[in-house]
Chain A
Amino acid sequence: MGRFLLKRLANYVVLVVVATTLAYIVASLALNPRSTYEGRNPPPPAAVVEQQLTAYGVNDKDPLLGRYADWIGGVVLHGDFGQTVRGQDINDQLGSRALVSLRLLVLGSIIGAVVGVLAGVVSAIKKYKVTDRAITAYSFFFIATPVFFTAVLLKFGALSVNDAVGSTVLYYTGYETPNLQAGFWGHVADQVGHLILPTLSIALGQIAYFSRYQRNAMLDVMNSDFLRTAEAKGLTRRKALYKHGLRTALIPMATLLAYSFGTLAVGATFTEKIFGWHGMGEWLVDSITSQDINVVATVTLFTAVFILISGFLADVIYAVLDPRVRV
């Protein structure tokens, strides 16, 4: 088992390196940091522009491989991600932005997975009953709805809730109220108030995915021979389902978990952008618009590492759940 996981880990690390490299190269070829200096009034002298670009490591006149080697060398050797196209240190923003994003992603995915699995199980057991139909309708709707639409609808909802209550309970901009003077609990309440909508916008879709998969995995198991054996031993249908069925049906969820993080990371981009959270996703979109190569590469690295960790976690969960891979 240790070997199996080690092999997977090695594979992931290679993938992260290649993905980051590719992102850097693609970004370097497609983005044009020079445009930041164009259209300035007065136009900066050409030599200054060249010097600045070279200093940031984004000058298209320097050899690409050399620039890449410098950047990745800085990352690996000094943990230095370079500078933005406007000369700020990327490292300064990285920490806070990563925290903002992780808060959203981790919370959203945990809620999504747990609630989704539960809903899926209920749905499978109550197959074709009202509960199942409701859950199915729910998951179809949210699988079909893009996050940016959900998010806006949530804003609508929040607006009417706030109207009904008469004060702002649900916030839909930012992750905290700036300069709030409310003591510790006040801060907590404020942060929770800010967290609800963005988390929901992510979790709703995740719940839809997980419940659909879990329902099908559970239905597969419900027709299996070993469940029949469990009943033949003298377990009631219900007990057999929970003790033997659910335990086995959870196994494929581990893989889904790994795949879902990819979609989640993209979904978070919309959420951050719409709810005004200064996280990694927002950074990515902004950096593309501002032609910022280093930031693009950094965010890619972050996302790839995030997917790596979750993929690895999924492998571990898989190995724990399924004795057949523990060899």
Chain B
Amino acid sequence: MSDVGDDVSQVPLLSVRDLGVVFPGGEDGDVPAVRGVAYDLAPGEVLGIVGESGSGKSVSSLAVMGLLPRNARVTGSVRLRGVELLGRPDGELARIRGNDIAMVFQDPLSALTPVYTVGDQIAETIRIHQRLAAGPATQRAVELLDSVGIPNAAQRAKAFPHEFSGGMRQRVMIAMAIANDPDVLIADEPTTALDVTIQAQVLELLETARQLTNAATVMITHDLGVVAGIADRVLVMYAGKAVEQGPVGPVYAAPRMPYTIGLLGSVPRLDRPGQTLTPISGSPPNVSRLEPGCPFASRCPVVLPVCREVEPELTPTAVGSAACHRADEIVDGSIDGVPVFPPPVLAQARGLVARTERPAVLEVREVTKRFDITRGAVMRRKVGSVSAVDGVSFDIREGEALGLVGESGSGKTTTIMEVLSLQAPAEGSIVVHGKDVAGLGRRERKELRRDIQVVFQDPLSSLDPRLPVGDIIDEPLRSFDVPRAERAARVGELLRLVGLAPEHANRYPADFSGGQRQRIGIARALALEPKLLVLDEPVSALDVSIQAGVLNLLEDLKVRLGLAYLFVAHDLSVVRHIADRVAVMYLGRLVEVGDADDIFERPTHPYTQALLSAVPIPDPVAERQRERILVRGDLPDPANLPSGCRFRSRCPLFVELEPGQQQRCAEEDPALVEHVPGLASACHFARERTVVPG
């Protein structure tokens, strides 16, 4: 101990060694959630911990905080400035938590106590660790709220957590975390629940907070782009273990562990539209039933016999360390010039006739959907309405994919629900395959359902857990009275089409992994041979390594079956990868529509530009050189929209305009017009700007 104490500068601020966590008594025996994690942190340093769900990344940091359930067995060592934390009583740890080490959690709604005001909750944090009277503590809480960018802080401090938006709640969480000027800040997926624009704001705030407090930061995330942007070093976790570690730049440039290579290859990138994704087959192992050897062996394309016998230790490489028997052979993602993950062969697009020559499968004209706002307790009465969708028009031609993008609350979901209901909209018209839905009878409407089918976001919730997969895929066929014998054959065919086996028909959704379930969802949607598939965030619930396989499948099917897609997504990288055309939505309106290449390479609307610039790119070099265009604040209340241009209140361009120009924005609602050929945008001052490095 003494020789360490002599030279304080040599002691890392936080030192984690050989950390292990076991949850006893799972159904398959003990669950070793973390099996050896080690890292050091210096003041001001940012460590990114990356991993898929179940990799143990969150558990490892909860272990550092001493926040695991009491029955968890934690082994190894966690030292803060050389002082061991593990095994100390709760009372002593409590003095460290929130004072020396603070934490920001993923879901800020459930992470804040619903029954106390946010001001009280922050003041409480302060008063636990500092001798401060209630008055000054509340005052300090207001200051903190102000410093994290909560407008009107003194008044908002008296509000309850449910009265804040997601982004604002996360700001409150951060204010709470930095209240006592901590030395270490652990952020556990702090932006996962947020929109990209809000994510960009929160990441910026975390960076500011880090600079203010000079706290060492541990950033836990599944998003390789986020780590590329803010971390100094990265630690990749798989099945409870660190499998690769090192400085961000070199690790991203030349990963040595096949898992890391696979992860980087499976993420669609905004700056590489044409790149074929390389999915990692299979899914992560069940940690309580680990087989001997490398846990990645069953999914690794370059597996050797030794990998199935001996689990590789994390050993130093040229730049960091990697846990792979073949780490030394891997150069530039390849072994002897052969890529570790060879890109799969997908069906190539046939020479399609020009867009204008192809018939439209879906035409949406000036569709508006309003929701009433009601007031009154005894007698309910209408006091007004908000337009969730306001005069939206677009069309989709045969064989093309339209990506509909926007933040939550932009009206994308309402739009597709209007389309899927096949009912006449309150205003405007919807024409499917040349038939206006307004004039349809009951039977014709049902018949039209054959042409338009849907794949939902969450593969777990989109399949009835109580029905075998065969029955699930069979359901649309049954409701259209397809003869039984034909149906059975068709189910097998569909399963094969999406990369599963006909034998799978007897099994239940729970028996499949997330990616497989999404394939089943796609098979069901294809059962009636539709012309148009509505894809509602089809990959956003999947881990990156699995998402790539589904995206490849969608790309392949589109070409092979000549399908048209209406693809709704908040992840612009995914849209970039799959869409031919893109429509950007903001507060119920389309603000920019055009070919995907145009929109991504030279967007003209400031909202599109901000949206694109907020998407992190998993490339540390490119990511750090990008210019950020931040939108300000939150989505305005749809019942109380700004006059003139709706985007005005958040527009990054607006603040740069001359007062005369600003007045135009405030008075005149911009129409969607072509400012540059092929690109329609709803901005008075639309101008091209490149925000994605090419």
From residue B497, how far is it (CB to closest CB) to chain A in Å? 41
User: Measured between alpha carbons, how far is A247 from B120 in the docked complex, in Å?
Assistant: 14
User: Measured between alpha carbons, how far is A235 from B98 in the docked complex, in Å?
Assistant: 9
Assuming the contacts A233-B97, A234-B98, asked whether A323 and B91 have C-beta atoms less than 8 A apart, the reply is no
Of B101-109, B480-488, B505-513, B564-572, the one with at least 4 CB within 8 A of chain A: B101-109
- List the A residue with the shortest CB-CB distance to B70: A237
What per-residue 1/0 map shows which CB atoms of A209-226 lie under 8 Å from chain B? 000000000000000111
CB-based contact A7/B110 at 8 Å = no
Assuming the contacts A234-B98, A236-B91, asked whether A229 and B378 have C-beta atoms less than 8 A apart, the reply is no
CB-based contact B114/A323 at 8 Å = yes
List which B15-33 residues lie within 8 A (CB) of chain A. none
CB-based contact B67/A228 at 8 Å = yes
CB-based contact B115/A234 at 8 Å = no
CB-based contact B114/A324 at 8 Å = yes
The one of B90, B95, B112, B180 in contact with A229, judged by C-beta atoms closer than 8 angstroms, is B112
From residue B89, how far is it (CB to closest CB) to chain A in Å? 9
List which A248-262 residues lie within 8 A (CB) of chain B. 248, 251
User: Measured between alpha carbons, how far is A226 from B115 in the docked complex, in Å?
Assistant: 11
**How many A residues, CB 8 Å from partner?**
27
Among A228, A232, A322, find the residue whose CB has the most chain B CB atoms closer than 10 A. A232
Among A230, A231, A234, A235, find the residue whose CB has the most chain B CB atoms closer than 10 A. A234
B4 at the interface (CB under 8 A from A): no
B128 at the interface (CB under 8 A from A): yes
Measured between beta carbons, the chain B residues less than 8 angstroms from A234 are 94-99, 125, 128-129, 180
A129 at the interface (CB under 8 A from B): no
Among A228, A248, A321, A324, find the residue whose CB has the most chain B CB atoms closer than 10 A. A228
Measured between beta carbons, the chain A residues less than 8 angstroms from B65 are 232
List which B99-149 residues lie within 8 A (CB) of chain A. 99, 102-103, 105, 107, 110-116, 124-125, 128-129
User: Measured between alpha carbons, how far is A277 from B97 in the docked complex, in Å?
Assistant: 59
From residue B74, how far is it (CB to closest CB) to chain A in Å? 15
A144 at the interface (CB under 8 A from B): no
B318 at the interface (CB under 8 A from A): no
From residue B377, how far is it (CB to closest CB) to chain A in Å? 4
B176 at the interface (CB under 8 A from A): yes
CB-based contact A322/B115 at 8 Å = yes
The one of A229, A237, A238, A323 in contact with B160, judged by C-beta atoms closer than 8 angstroms, is A323
Assuming the contacts A233-B125, A236-B90, A248-B115, asked whether A4 and B377 have C-beta atoms less than 8 A apart, the reply is yes
- List the B residue with the shortest CB-CB distance to A245: B113
From residue B113, how far is it (CB to closest CB) to chain A in Å? 4
User: Measured between alpha carbons, how far is A237 from B91 in the docked complex, in Å?
Assistant: 8
User: Measured between alpha carbons, how far is A126 from B128 in the docked complex, in Å?
Assistant: 26
A15 at the interface (CB under 8 A from B): no
CB-based contact B111/A226 at 8 Å = yes
Assuming the contacts A226-B110, A228-B105, asked whether A233 and B128 have C-beta atoms less than 8 A apart, the reply is yes
CB-based contact A321/B115 at 8 Å = yes
- List the A residue with the shortest CB-CB distance to B98: A234
A10 at the interface (CB under 8 A from B): yes
The one of B99, B112, B114, B124 in contact with A322, judged by C-beta atoms closer than 8 angstroms, is B114
Measured between beta carbons, the chain A residues less than 8 angstroms from B162 are 323-324
CB-based contact B176/A233 at 8 Å = yes
User: Measured between alpha carbons, how far is A324 from B180 in the docked complex, in Å?
Assistant: 29
CB-based contact B113/A248 at 8 Å = yes
A61 at the interface (CB under 8 A from B): no
Contacts between chains A and B (CB distance < 8 A), count: 85
Measured between beta carbons, the chain B residues less than 8 angstroms from A10 are 378
From residue B99, how far is it (CB to closest CB) to chain A in Å? 6
A78 at the interface (CB under 8 A from B): no
Assuming the contacts A232-B98, A244-B113, asked whether A225 and B90 have C-beta atoms less than 8 A apart, the reply is no
CB-based contact B115/A233 at 8 Å = no
A3 at the interface (CB under 8 A from B): yes
From residue A227, how far is it (CB to closest CB) to chain B in Å? 8
User: Measured between alpha carbons, how far is A322 from B176 in the docked complex, in Å?
Assistant: 22
User: Measured between alpha carbons, how far is A244 from B128 in the docked complex, in Å?
Assistant: 14
What per-residue 1/0 map shows which CB atoms of B267-290 lie under 8 Å from chain A? 000000000000000000000000
The one of B94, B96, B111, B160 in contact with A228, judged by C-beta atoms closer than 8 angstroms, is B111
A153 at the interface (CB under 8 A from B): no
- List the B residue with the shortest CB-CB distance to A224: B110
Measured between beta carbons, the chain B residues less than 8 angstroms from A285 are none
User: Measured between alpha carbons, how far is A10 from B380 in the docked complex, in Å?
Assistant: 14
Measured between beta carbons, the chain B residues less than 8 angstroms from A323 are 114-115, 160, 162
A17 at the interface (CB under 8 A from B): no
User: Measured between alpha carbons, how far is A226 from B180 in the docked complex, in Å?
Assistant: 19
From residue B69, how far is it (CB to closest CB) to chain A in Å? 9
List which A1-27 residues lie within 8 A (CB) of chain B. 3-4, 6-7, 10
Measured between beta carbons, the chain B residues less than 8 angstroms from A226 are 110-114
Measured between beta carbons, the chain A residues less than 8 angstroms from B376 are 3
What per-residue 1/0 map shows which CB atoms of B369-380 lie under 8 Å from chain A? 000000011100
The one of B62, B114, B160 in contact with A248, judged by C-beta atoms closer than 8 angstroms, is B114
Measured between beta carbons, the chain A residues less than 8 angstroms from B97 are 231-234
- List the A residue with the shortest CB-CB distance to B177: A232
- List the A residue with the shortest CB-CB distance to B186: A232
The one of B91, B105, B116, B124 in contact with A225, judged by C-beta atoms closer than 8 angstroms, is B105
List which B145-200 residues lie within 8 A (CB) of chain A. 160, 162, 173, 176, 180
User: Measured between alpha carbons, how far is A224 from B180 in the docked complex, in Å?
Assistant: 24
User: Measured between alpha carbons, how far is A322 from B96 in the docked complex, in Å?
Assistant: 31
Measured between beta carbons, the chain A residues less than 8 angstroms from B99 are 234
- List the B residue with the shortest CB-CB distance to A231: B67
Measured between beta carbons, the chain B residues less than 8 angstroms from A237 are 90
Measured between beta carbons, the chain A residues less than 8 angstroms from B125 are 233-234
CB-based contact A231/B111 at 8 Å = no
What per-residue 1/0 map shows which CB atoms of B357-384 lie under 8 Å from chain A? 0000000000000000000111000000
User: Measured between alpha carbons, how far is A173 from B90 in the docked complex, in Å?
Assistant: 54
User: Measured between alpha carbons, how far is A30 from B115 in the docked complex, in Å?
Assistant: 50
CB-based contact B160/A324 at 8 Å = yes
- List the B residue with the shortest CB-CB distance to A223: B69
CB-based contact A232/B110 at 8 Å = no
List 9 contacting pairs A-B, 8 Å CB cutoff, sorted by A.
A3-B376, A225-B105, A231-B94, A232-B65, A233-B97, A234-B99, A234-B128, A235-B128, A323-B160
Binding site for A on B (CB under 8 A): 62, 65, 67, 90-91, 94-99, 102-103, 105, 107, 110-116, 124-125, 128-129, 160, 162, 173, 176, 180, 376-378
Binding site for B on A (CB under 8 A): 3-4, 6-7, 10, 224-226, 228-238, 244, 247-248, 251, 321-324
Q: A3-B378, A233-B102, A234-B128 are in contact. List 12 more A-B contacts (CB 8 A).
A: A3-B377, A7-B378, A224-B110, A231-B67, A232-B65, A234-B97, A235-B94, A236-B91, A247-B115, A248-B113, A322-B115, A323-B115
Pick the 8 closest A-B CB pairs, nearest first: A234-B98, A3-B377, A7-B377, A233-B98, A225-B110, A234-B128, A225-B111, A233-B125
